[in-house]
Amino acid sequence: LGQPGLSDTIDKMSEDGDIASVMGFSGFGKKARTFDLEAIFEQTRRTAIERSQHVLEERQRALEQEEEGESSTSVQTSAPSQKQNPAPPPFKKPQSDSSGSSDSDSDSDLVGPPLPRQYSDEHMKQGDTGSDDDEEEDASDAEEDNPVRKIPDSHEITLQHGNKTVSALALDPSGARLVTGGYDYDVKFWDFAGMDQALQAFRSLQPCECHQIKSLQYSITGDVVLVASGNAQAKVLDRDGFNVMECIKGDQYIVDMVNTKGHTAMLNGGCWHPKIKEEFMTCSNDGTVRTWDVKSEKQHKSVFKPRSFQGKKVVPTCCTYSRDGKLIAAGCQDGTIQIWDRNLSVHTKFHCRQAHIPGSDTSCLAFSYDGKTLASRGGDDTLKMWDIRNFRQPVNAATGLTNYFAMTDCCFSPDDKLLITGTSVKKDEGNGKLAFFDRMSFEKVHEIEVTNASVIRCLWHPKLNQIMVGTGNGLAKVYYDPIKSHRGAMLCVVKSKRKDKHAEALTQDYIITPHALPMFREARQRSTRKQLEKDRLDPKKSHKPEPPVAGPGRGGRVAAHGGTLSSFIVKNIALDKTDDSNPRQAILRHAKEAAENPFWVAPAYKKTQPKPLFAEESDEDEEAEKEPEWKKRKI
């Protein structure tokens, strides 16, 4: 620092460095630093080993101090636990860094701090039972995947609709109310939240008079119910059963059903649109499928006409929407299934001509929740499943499912893994069953014997996870599981029956002599004349005769003859003037007087011909009499 020349040189070099850094070429001519990665890694590894060894030694010292303070009994009980859960082995300390054996030993050493003892003990215990837990988890997963265990059939309640077939069932989207309809023309409303163990409907009505109920369905909002019955006019009711709308009836004398405003024959079914809350659809025996709007009841929206292979009219027996509402499907009496695009009503989008046996009523069509599969329940005792993307042949088919009713249902489970339907039986020939089929293999995986009558309607509500069944003997059964199901029938089974309210009779004290009281005591008669005047005015006491009937007769009494204009005409104008007297006797009555006092003819012949001369009979007259009648001259 004392040399002035050296300081000047350093200042000059610093100034040159600053200028070079400012100009951007300060790094020219320098070499990049080189790093020995192996050396750095080796140094890091050794540091970690030393630290972990130091920590392990401190822990061993702490454990030794604790063991010294414990009693001998505690030491003996802790010995087997240490054998079962041994501590992790201590780390080996390398002998020398320069020797080759140290490298090989260090490679096998554990890097990083050791695990805590509690964690290591728990890990060893879990290692022994790990295989058992895996097996239990696999078994539980297999049970959860089994769709049969998801069927809620452990409990049931029975709703008595009537004595005749329950032909229609419907649940609102929330699952709060159930509607049933049957062959007895009745529609009954059941409220699960308002019912008790008596299980009584809160409303019963006959919306279609003397027509059987074919189908019932709630709209997507649950505020109205569609009723399709045996007449040609569908009705829409509100949640309490009051009429909201009635479809118009078409002109039955028009040949082309497109040109009339409504159905002209009996309805076979109806359903709501799954997306549009005001639109619904009906099918009828007039050979048409019509869509309607609740706001315009005077005319339908569109008409779909199913046709046979020869182009003739066929009767649709059931109809349904797809899950997205873009397709309309109908099953017909000739065994065909025809599907239209909702916006194109002329030509079918999909059709299968030989879906079921011709002449059998296809009772139900149901789309799966994914919208790719269609299930059909036929009157030929079959249940078939179809893929919309390949609609020529069924994917699977089940036979031997007896079907005697034109409204036997089929539906999918909420998880789309099962397909259910009911079977029919004749009277006293067995029990009706509810059959469950696996969707993939189409094997019958479960079966419920419902009652000694046919099982017709069935539905599986996705929110409640409960199954409703309508039978042929007037019962509506609800199957549920207290663990798997929610609300619905579980709300009413826990309520006890209400006690009958006996009418309270208002009892009064007996009065032996009631006329002794002042209020019932009659005043004495002061004058007989006044009493006679009152009796005279009373028609009963005076025995007044009944006055003659004026006008037409009434009360069993006939009016007097001639009291009306028609009777007056009959009496005076339209008289019967038939004369039964003999005209010959009437003329001979004047013969004696005419002979004694002739006035007209006799005086003229008195002088010229006093004696009358008559013509003699000739042969011509005899021949004329012998002639046949048709030759005789008509006078």
What's the mean pLDDT in 413-439? 90
Query: What is the bridge-based pairing of β-strands 337-341 and 410-412?
Result: unpaired
* Residue 241 predicted with pLDDT over 50: yes
Query: d(Cα 108, Cα 100) in Å, to the nearest integer?
Result: 14
Neighbours of 346 (CB within 10 A): 8
3-class DSSP assignment, residue 576 = coil
Domain 179-457 has CATH 3.40.50.460: no
> Between these two residues, 346 and 50, which has the higher pLDDT value?
50
Whole-number average pLDDT of the chain: 79
pTM for the full predicted model: 0.58
pLDDT of 66 reads 75
Work out the burial of residue 200: count CB atoms within 10 Å of its CB; fewer than 13 is exposed, 13-18 middle, 19 or more buried: middle
The number of CA neighbours under 13 Å toward the Cβ of 532 is 3
Using 50, 70 and 90 to split pLDDT, how confident is the model at 337?
A: very high
Query: d(Cα 172, Cα 583) in Å, to the nearest integer?
Result: 91
pLDDT of 292 reads 92
What's the mean pLDDT in 393-422? 91
Report which of 129, 149, 127 is spatially closest to residue 137, judged by C-alpha positions. Answer: 129
* Residue 96 predicted with pLDDT over 60: no
What's the mean pLDDT in 421-431? 89
Q: What angle do CA 254, 255, 257 make, to 5 degrees?
A: 80
Q: In what order do the strands lie in the sheet with 444-451?
A: 410-412, 418-422, 432-438, 444-451
CB 192 within 8 A of CB 478: no
Which residues is 422 bridged to in the sheet? Answer: 434
Q: What angle do CA 448, 453, 458 make, to 5 degrees?
A: 55
pLDDT of 76 reads 44
- Chain-centre distance of CA 94, in angstroms? 81
Lowest pLDDT segment from 258-272, 325-339, 519-533: 519-533
pLDDT of 131 reads 54
Lowest pLDDT segment from 87-101, 257-271, 273-287, 308-322: 87-101
> Between these two residues, 437 and 103, which has the higher pLDDT value?
437
pLDDT of 170 reads 93
pLDDT of 563 reads 62
Q: Residue 422 corresponds to which tokens in the numbers above?
A: 């009911």
pLDDT of 77 reads 40
Work out the burial of residue 517: count CB atoms within 10 Å of its CB; fewer than 13 is exposed, 13-18 middle, 19 or more buried: exposed
> Between these two residues, 221 and 563, which has the higher pLDDT value?
221
Using 50, 70 and 90 to split pLDDT, how confident is the model at 15?
A: low
* Residue 86 predicted with pLDDT over 60: no
> Between these two residues, 310 and 280, which has the higher pLDDT value?
280
What's the mean pLDDT in 402-421? 91
* Residue 133 predicted with pLDDT over 70: no
The percentage of residues in the chain with a pLDDT greater than 90, rounded to a whole number, is 32
Neighbours of 357 (CB within 10 A): 14
Query: d(Cα 493, Cα 114) in Å, to the nearest integer?
Result: 61
* Residue 130 predicted with pLDDT over 90: no
Give the start-to-end residue ranges of the domains of the chain.
179-457
What's the mean pLDDT in 86-109? 42
The answer for residues whose C-beta is within 8 angstroms of residue 227's C-beta and 6 or more apart is 181, 187, 207, 208, 213, 215, 216, 234, 235, 236, 237, 270
Q: What is each CA distance from 168 to 165, 182, 400, 458, 477, in whole angstroms?
A: 9, 6, 24, 9, 13
* Residue 227 predicted with pLDDT over 70: yes
Torsions phi, psi for 230 (to 5 deg):
-75, -5
Report which of 301, 381, 391, 412 is spatially closest to residue 338, judged by C-alpha positions. Answer: 391
Q: Residue 211 corresponds to which tokens in the numbers above?
A: 């027509």
pLDDT of 194 reads 85
Query: Which residue, chain included where needed, has tokens 């490298």?
Result: 103
Q: What is each CA distance from 341 to 259, 338, 347, 348, 476, in whole angstroms?
A: 21, 10, 9, 7, 35
> Between these two residues, 469 and 30, which has the higher pLDDT value?
469
> Between these two residues, 3 and 617, which has the higher pLDDT value?
617
Query: d(Cα 316, Cα 286) in Å, to the nearest integer?
Result: 9
What's the mean pLDDT in 455-464? 92
pLDDT of 524 reads 66
pLDDT of 11 reads 55
The number of CA neighbours under 13 Å toward the Cβ of 13 is 6
Beta strand spans in 425-482 (E): 432-438, 444-451, 455-461, 466-471, 475-480
Lowest pLDDT segment from 339-343, 375-379, 624-628: 624-628
Buried b (16+ CB within 10 A) or exposed e, 161-183: bbeebbbbbbbbeebbbbbbbbb
Work out the burial of residue 447: count CB atoms within 10 Å of its CB; fewer than 13 is exposed, 13-18 middle, 19 or more buried: exposed
What's the mean pLDDT in 358-376? 90
pLDDT of 555 reads 72
Rg (CA), the chain: 55
Instruction: For the chain, give the longest Cα–Cα distance.
Output: 218
What's the mean pLDDT in 118-136? 53
* Residue 33 predicted with pLDDT over 70: no
What's the mean pLDDT in 263-292? 93
pLDDT of 467 reads 93
**For helices 100-108 and 37-69, angle between their N-to-C axes, nearest 10 degrees:** 60
Report which of 326, 318, 366 is spatially closest to residue 343, judged by C-alpha positions. Answer: 326
What's the mean pLDDT in 334-346? 87
* Residue 93 predicted with pLDDT over 60: no
Neighbours of 604 (CB within 10 A): 10
The percentage of residues in the chain with a pLDDT greater than 70, rounded to a whole number, is 75
* Residue 560 predicted with pLDDT over 70: no
What's the mean pLDDT in 485-489? 86
Q: For residue range 98-110, what is the model confidence (pLDDT) as tens digits?
A: 444 444 444 444 4
What's the mean pLDDT in 256-274? 91
Q: Residue 595 corresponds to which tokens in the numbers above?
A: 């002979």
pLDDT of 98 reads 41
Using 50, 70 and 90 to split pLDDT, how confident is the model at 523?
A: low
Q: For residue range 580-618, what is the model confidence (pLDDT) as tens digits?
A: 678 888 888 888 888 888 888 778 888 888 887 877 777
* Residue 58 predicted with pLDDT over 60: yes
* Residue 215 predicted with pLDDT over 60: yes
Q: What angle do CA 614, 617, 621 make, to 5 degrees?
A: 130
Using 50, 70 and 90 to split pLDDT, how confident is the model at 84?
A: very low
Beta strand spans in 262-326 (E): 267-272, 279-284, 289-293, 302-304, 316-321
Q: For residue range 287-318, what is the model confidence (pLDDT) as tens digits?
A: 999 999 998 888 899 999 999 888 888 999 99
What's the mean pLDDT in 59-75? 67
> Between these two residues, 614 and 136, which has the higher pLDDT value?
614
Torsions phi, psi for 408 (to 5 deg):
-65, 130
Query: What is the bridge-based pairing of β-strands 203-205 and 213-218?
Result: unpaired
